[in-house]
């Protein structure tokens, strides 16, 4: 499991045997017990809708753990909006492929070694898609849908 500070390009990762609320809590603790997060007015946690952090129950749970933590869910099927997913895709390509590990300890060692190396070179991700670009894409989709609808009518 991992968290990504989008402003500082800092990654926080842990290896656990299982996922779930307890593992997610460990990850949140890892981040929130450190400065500047511990004393920040607000720390936004952008999450997908995974089972350990889904729905309003998870939002309430996170704010009980840390009063300054605010959970924001990405829309369903929009994991590309969650920047930690970019880091995870890098791990998939550069660390976990090929899958030639003798045991789980070796996987954990390679993941944590990569995290240390990545941390030394990481920079905030530069988004190239602007608000205007998104509006143009949505307009094209809308125009195509309208043309198809008119032809069908």
Q: Which CATH class is domain 2-126?
A: alpha beta
Higher pLDDT, 143 or 59: 59
Tell me which residue of 87, 89, 91, 90 sits closest to 108, measured CA to CA.
Answer: 91
Give the model confidence (pLDDT) of 89-136 as tens digits: 999 999 999 999 999 999 999 999 999 999 999 888 777 878 888 788
Q: Which tokens sit at 116?
A: 């240390």
pTM, full prediction? 0.78
Q: Which tokens sit at 68?
A: 């300054």
Give the model confidence (pLDDT) of 67-91 as tens digits: 999 999 888 777 667 788 888 999 9
Tell me what pLDDT residue 138 has: 81
**Whole-angstrom distance, CA of residue 141 vs CA of residue 106:** 46
Contact assessment for residue 66 and residue 32, using Cβ atoms and an 8 Å cutoff: yes
Q: How confident is the model at residue 43 (pLDDT cuts 50, 70, 90)?
A: very high
Dump strand ranges (E) for 6-152.
10-13, 43-47, 69-73
**Whole-angstrom distance, CA of residue 148 vs CA of residue 95:** 44
């Amino acid at each position: 499991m991992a968290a990504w500070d989008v402003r500082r390009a800092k990654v926080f990762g842990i290896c656990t045997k299982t996922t779930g609320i307890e593992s997610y809590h460990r990850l949140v603790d890892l981040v929130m017990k450190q400065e500047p997060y511990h004393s920040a007015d607000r720390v936004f946690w952008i999450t997908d809708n995974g089972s350990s952090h889904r729905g309003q129950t998870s939002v309430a749970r996170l704010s009980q753990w840390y009063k300054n933590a605010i959970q924001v869910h990405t829309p369903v099927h929009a994991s590309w909006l969650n920047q930690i997913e970019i880091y995870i895709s890098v791990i998939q390509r550069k660390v976990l492929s090929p899958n030639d590990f003798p045991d789980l300890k070796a996987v954990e060692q390679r993941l944590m070694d990569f995290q240390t190396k990545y941390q030394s070179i990481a920079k905030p991700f530069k988004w190239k898609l602007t608000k205007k670009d998104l509006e143009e894409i949505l307009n094209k989709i809308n125009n195509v849908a309208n043309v198809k609808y008119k032809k069908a009518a």
